[in-house]
Structures are given as structure tokens and as C-alpha cells.
């Protein structure tokens, strides 16, 4: 009898937990200003990323088991390469912000110009909208900047801020502002 009572209690606990979880709805985050919805600009490997895209909040969001945000700083082909990528797959179509810097050694408190994408020696940024595959990219006239606010190669931590202006093939422009990230990176 005691075992049956424990089993019933366990089943009721599981049923209550499932009901509670399935009944929970994510309340939309509301902020007085869009910038207030961005994560703070930290330097603690907080695994955060955020920016404004034409004044609207962009945060990485995942579905299933996709990774919405990653940073790599790796040595290959004789030099260091930095790649930052954040994707929001909840929006339809999905959106992503990408920054790449080739042949660059990161330094703390240094600002890097984001401009034209070249073969092996460039620093650039892109904003991608899936579906039709619209890519906005920096170039000689549409530039930006990335500032490294913390770089700790021993702990593989990198933090920074960024902004950029980009253009697509149709001549439409996008403005990415108030960007910030703080995470460990892939070596």
C-alpha cells in the first residue's frame, strides 16, 4: 500500500509539473526604449549578444538544437581569424548578423574598421535575411567598427561592441547599432 501511495504521489507531481510547464507562456519583454531590451555590455563571458537593426532589437534565438550565437578566434593558414555569428531563427525568415576579420591579431581596447570584404586581408560585417537570401554587407562606402573591450586568450574570453552600415544588391541600406557581445570563443 505504501508503494502504491508513493507511485500515485509521484504521478500527481509529474502531472502538475507538466501542466505548469505547458501552461506557461512567455510574456513579451517590453522596454521603454529598444536599447533597454539589449543585454548589458559585460566582460565576464556572460554568453550574451545583442544589437539594434534599424532601431529594432535583435537577439539570437534558437529552435531545436541550433546554436544561435558563436565566436571563433583561430590560427590557421599562418594567421589569426575572428568570426562572430548570431542568428534569430524565431523570426520568419531567419535573420543573422555576422562579422569576420581575417589576418588580424586581436588586442584589448583596440577598434577595427569593418569595410570591404577582400580575399585574405579584410574585416567586414553582414546582415542576412533568409527566405530570399538578402545579404546586406559593408563595403568601402558603408562601414562600421568593432571594439574589443576584453580579450583574454588564456581563458578564451572576448567581449566587445560594434556598429555598421550595410547595403544589399538592390541598394537598400540597413543600420546596425549598439552591438555588444561577451562570451568564450572557440580556439
Q: Residues 50-76: pLDDT tens digits?
A: 999 999 999 999 765 566 899 999 999
Dihedral angle of Cα 145, 181, 69, 52, to the nearest 10 degrees:
-70
Give residue for cell 538544437: 65
Does the structure show a pLDDT above 60 at 82? yes
CA distance 81 to 71: 11
Q: Which of 86-100, 118-132, 151-165 has the lowest mean pLDDT?
A: 118-132
Across the chain, which distance is largest between two alpha carbons, in Å?
Answer: 79
pTM: predicted TM-score of the whole model, two decimal places? 0.82
Does the structure show a pLDDT above 80 at 3? no
Q: What is the domain partition of the chain in residue ranges?
A: 37-184
Give residue for cell 534599424: 54
DSSP 129: E
CA distance 77 to 37: 39
Does the structure show a pLDDT above 50 at 21? no
Q: Kindly tell me the burial class for residue 116, based on how many C-beta atoms sit within 10 Å of its own C-beta (0-12, 13-18, 19 or more).
A: middle
Provide the pLDDT for residue 177. Answer: 98
Provide the pLDDT for residue 63. Answer: 65
Cβ-based neighbour number of residue 27 at 10 Å: 6
Provide the pLDDT for residue 124. Answer: 96
3-state helix, strand, coil in the chain (%, to 5): 15, 45, 40
Cα Rg of the chain (Å, integer): 21
Dihedrals phi, psi of 37, to nearest 5 degrees: -85, -10
DSSP 30: -
Dihedrals phi, psi of 167, to nearest 5 degrees: -135, 150
Does the structure show a pLDDT above 50 at 6? no
Provide the pLDDT for residue 22. Answer: 34
Reported as a pLDDT band with limits 50, 70 and 90, residue 12 is very low
Amino acid at each position: 500500500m505504501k508503494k502504491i501511495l508513493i507511485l500515485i504521489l509521484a504521478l500527481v507531481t509529474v502531472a502538475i509539473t507538466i501542466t505548469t510547464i505547458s501552461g506557461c507562456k512567455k510574456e513579451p519583454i517590453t522596454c521603454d526604449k529598444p536599447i533597454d531590451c539589449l543585454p548589458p555590455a559585460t566582460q565576464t563571458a556572460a554568453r550574451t549578444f545583442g544589437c539594434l537593426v534599424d532601431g529594432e532589437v535583435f537577439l539570437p534565438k534558437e529552435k531545436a538544437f541550433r546554436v544561435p550565437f558563436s565566436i571563433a578566434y583561430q590560427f590557421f593558414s599562418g594567421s589569426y581569424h575572428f568570426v562572430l555569428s548570431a542568428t534569430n531563427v524565431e523570426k520568419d525568415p531567419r535573420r543573422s548578423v555576422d562579422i569576420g576579420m581575417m589576418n588580424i591579431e586581436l588586442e584589448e581596447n583596440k577598434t577595427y574598421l569593418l569595410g570591404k570584404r577582400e580575399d585574405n586581408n579584410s574585416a567586414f560585417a553582414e546582415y542576412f535575411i533568409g527566405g530570399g537570401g538578402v545579404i546586406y554587407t559593408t563595403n568601402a562606402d558603408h562601414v562600421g567598427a568593432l571594439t574589443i573591450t576584453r580579450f583574454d586568450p588564456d581563458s578564451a574570453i572576448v567581449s566587445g561592441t560594434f556598429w555598421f552600415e550595410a547595403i544589399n544588391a538592390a541598394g537598400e541600406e540597413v543600420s546596425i547599432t549598439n552591438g555588444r557581445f561577451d562570451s568564450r570563443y572557440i580556439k
